[in-house]
Amino acid sequence: MAVRISRPLLLPYKGRMFSAVAQPEPRLTADEKEPRAYIKKLSNGMLVGTIESQSPLSRLAVVVNAGSRYESGDNLGVAHVLRHATKLRTENLSNLGITRSTQQLGADLTCQGTREHLFYKGVVTRNCAAKVVEILRELTTKQTFKDWELEEIQADPNGLKLDLSVLKTRPDIRVIELLHAAGFRDTLGRSLYAPEFMIGKYTHDQLLHYVKTYFSSGHELEQLASEFEPYSSIGVPQTNATFYGGEIRENTGGPLSYVAFAYGGPSVGQFSKDSLALEVLKQVLGVGPHVKYSTGTVASNLGKLVASVTSSPFAISSIGASYSDAGLLGLSLVAPNSEIDKVVRTAVSSLRSVLTSGVSDQDVQKAKTKLKSEIAMLFLEHPDNLLSWLGEQTLNSDHILTPQEVYRLVDPITTGDINSAAKKLATSKPALAVTGNTNNVPYLDRLVS
């Protein structure tokens, strides 16, 4: 017979014996911990892309196929104006209302542009995401573009005019703009910046026609969905970009010469084998210095070769760009005008030699490791870049690749794949762009003859 005093002592343990021990939390594998990305098409034709990053902040974006490549000769720079038009009133919100609502939510709204896309982005805490979506809806589907407001933003010294003033002080950016113009002419050759002669000439009808043409269900997506009602599509065909090659020289004087040289490359193609192979090749050539004020000659193959022919300061880096239907790969450099002739000839000769002769297995292994590191820094450490990347993939494909999935696509790339892609690249016509002091820069036909 049980002793009575023992019963109260046993009560706390009731139902908590060996059979009721808590199960340990199952450990997730590396694959299960990866963020999952999804694409969904809504009934109104909009595409919705989502990715869970486990962040306390929600990052939302409305992405539109309305970058500078869609401009015509009559509305050059309209995409640049739209980037500054986010502070203008809409059908239901005044410019003050947009500002105050954003401040009260503790949100951050921006508009960014590339040659292919416009990104209307919002960052806010998760519990306020729905309210930011409503503001983004107003900014992208309810524009009014009042004439007096357009006059104000075009006359504002801290808006379009400031962008153009900054561009004049950045020849390293200007030379890339000229390279696209030389290589692609129109489409992807359209500048990200409005020309000075157009400032003050943009009108209500011009901007409204552009947004109604390209802010339609076939051109627009929204990440972390809502009840968007995009403009009805009017079926404007897209002109495919072609890399023609060519030369543009813009002499602005000074002691330095800025040069960019490139061949036409493949499109991004959901990270096709050729596009990934050329990304690895770019790392083989050398992607600029990663240490501030460093010349980058230690880790850059191009830098080592140029350093052997000049003792003057210089900077050189391989460059590359992949778009939905075209791309380019080459180099960009700056050097004193007195040394620029031999610097350019050595750099271009080295690039052409790599493209035709190929690279070694050892260089490829190092380059693949560098590429993975660059992907990690670009996307995993900068959520804003990841958001842009998600938007571009959602518009251009039916599947979203996470950075971890791209890692696994890099590993199978072989030396043979890279050499094959390089030889294809070498068969295209090259493009050359020069700004700064152009006096001693050799012409394109003398570089590739």
CATH, domain range 37-222: 3.30.830.10
Mean pLDDT of 280-288: 92
Residue with tokens 């040659």: 115
Say if residues 267 and 329 touch (Cβ distance below 8 Å): no
Q: Which CATH superfamily is domain 246-447 in?
A: Metalloenzyme, LuxS/M16 peptidase-like (3.30.830.10)
Contact predicate 53/224, CB 8 Å? no
Return the higher-pLDDT residue of 396 and 61.
61
The reported pLDDT for the residue numbered 40 is 64
Q: CB of 298 within 8 A of CB of 346?
A: no
pLDDT band for 439, please (50, 70, 90 cuts): very high
Q: Is 182 in contact with 433 (CB distance < 8 Å)?
A: yes
* pLDDT for the residue 112: 94
Identical topology for domains 37-222 and 246-447: yes
pLDDT (average), residues 64-76: 93
Dump pLDDT digits (tens) for 369-425. 999 988 888 877 788 888 888 888 877 777 777 778 888 889 999 999 999 999 999
Determine whether 334 is exposed, middle or buried from the number of CB atoms within 10 Å of its CB (0-12, 13-18, 19+).
Answer: buried
Look at residue 11 in the predicted model and tell me its pLDDT. Answer: 47
pLDDT band with cut points at 50, 70 and 90 for residue 23: low
pLDDT-derived band of residue 441, with 50, 70 and 90 as boundaries?
Answer: very high
For the chain, give the percent of residues with pLDDT over 70. 83
The residue with greater pLDDT, 41 or 142, is 142
Give the number of residues written for the chain.
449
Mean pLDDT of 260-274: 83
Average pLDDT, the chain: 85
387 burial level (CB within 10 Å; 0-12, 13-18, 19+): buried
Is a pLDDT exceeding 80 seen at residue 260?
A: yes
pLDDT at position 289: 77
Q: Span 288-295, mean pLDDT?
A: 76
Pairing of strands 118-125, 246-251: unpaired
For 422, counting Cβ atoms within 10 Å of its Cβ (0-12 exposed, 13-18 middle, 19+ buried), the class is buried
Position 231 confidence tier, pLDDT thresholds 50, 70, 90: low
Per-residue confidence band for 273, with pLDDT thresholds at 50, 70 and 90:
confident
pTM here is 0.87
pLDDT for 336:
97
Amino acid symbol at 11: L
User: Is the pLDDT assigned to residue 147 strictly greater than 70?
Assistant: yes
Q: How confident is the model at residue 21 (pLDDT cuts 50, 70, 90)?
A: low
Report which of residues 200 and 25 the model is more confident about: 200
Contact 209, 216 (CB under 8 A): no
pLDDT at 5: 45
> Of 260 and 51, which is predicted with more confidence?
260
Residue 394: the pLDDT is 79
Nearest to 80 by CA among 170, 198, 179: 198
Residue whose token pair is 């050892």? 362
Is pLDDT above 80 for 9?
no
pLDDT reading at 33 higher than 60: no
Give the bridge partners for 336, in sequence order.
256
Long-range interactions of 365-371: CB distance < 8 A, separation 24+: 366/283, 366/284, 367/280, 367/281, 367/283, 367/284, 368/280, 368/283, 368/410, 368/411, 368/413, 370/283, 370/287, 371/279, 371/280, 371/283, 371/410
Task: Label residue 37 by pLDDT band (50, 70, 90).
Answer: low
Domain ranges of the chain: 37-222, 246-447
> Token pair 């571009």 is at which residue?
392
Give 41's pLDDT tier (boundaries 50, 70, 90): low
